[in-house]
Amino acid sequence: MNAIIPQAWLQERLQQPGIVIVDCRFQLGKPESGHTEYQESHIPGAVYLDLEKDLSAPVGEHGGRHPLPDIVDLSVTFSRAGIGNESIVVAYDDQGGAMASRLWWLLTYLGHEKVYVLDEGFTAWKQAGLPVTEEQTEVVPARFIATVQHSMLAEVYDVRDTLGTDRAVLIDSREAARYRGEVEPIDRVAGHIPGAVNRFWKDALDARGAWKPAVEQAARFDGIPQDAEIIVYCGSGVTATPNVLALREAGFTSVKLYAGSWSDWISYEGNPVAVGEEEERKG
């Protein structure tokens, strides 16, 4: 089963035991807005997890703007949200799947095999006339035990080791102007990691905001061998996760997230920075 599920799939299973629906709505710069929107209206049965309070660790000197949480802390968060190892988890947001993909990646990284992202998000669900509610969900805690999938994560030293080599393909998931270093509205340094190619994460979606099918996802990464080691990053490790998901859907077999991403990379004095376009190597 694909990781992207249609509205009809969830609609048919809203009352099914063992399903945990997670509202991941969050707006950068408006950190309280997601929870406020959840309180006003959400999919029946959904619990809310906050990008910065629940799905990230506190910001430090390194680790980027949304550092990975401690594994024990994250396991406790999932348990308190009612997510057990056998739960079927469906995540949604209203940000094109970026925040929901963060939850998808975190759960998959901790060994959970049944986690999905709702196609098109909450607004499309509501506009389709599907059920919503303001009633708060009574959560029954579960037991979540992590089995860390270390092969899914790249650290800063892994990225350094690839520079100037053919060991891995680096994919920058930010908008093209940020990748080229022409603008930088968030981080203190503009540019990209040398050698990285640009694949804007929103190109995973079609004109109406639905996820493109696997064959179209594969076309976005044309020229990259499906067995190549790929390291994906963005500004802080959040909007890279839709690209990780898209690569997985397209059949790529060795995809890692550089969780700290650009904001972590520039926190180390001496890490090189590139601007402009890169000449892409074809596999």
The catalytic residue positions are 234
* Residue 202 to residue 225: CA distance in whole angstroms: 22
DSSP 111-155: T---EEEETT-HHHHHHTT---B-PPP------------GGGEE-
* For helices 98-109 and 241-249, angle between their N-to-C axes, nearest 10 degrees: 70
Bridge pairing between strands 169-172 and 88-92:
unpaired
| Residue 53 near residue 121 (C-beta atoms within 8 A) | no
DSSP label at residue 4: E
Q: Residue 20's beta-bridge partner residues?
A: 89
| Residue 40 near residue 135 (C-beta atoms within 8 A) | no
| Residue 34 near residue 48 (C-beta atoms within 8 A) | yes
Closest listed residue to residue 20, CA positions, set 150, 134, 123, 118: 118
Handedness of CA 240, 243, 248, 251 (dihedral sign): negative
Tokens describing residue 52: 């910065």
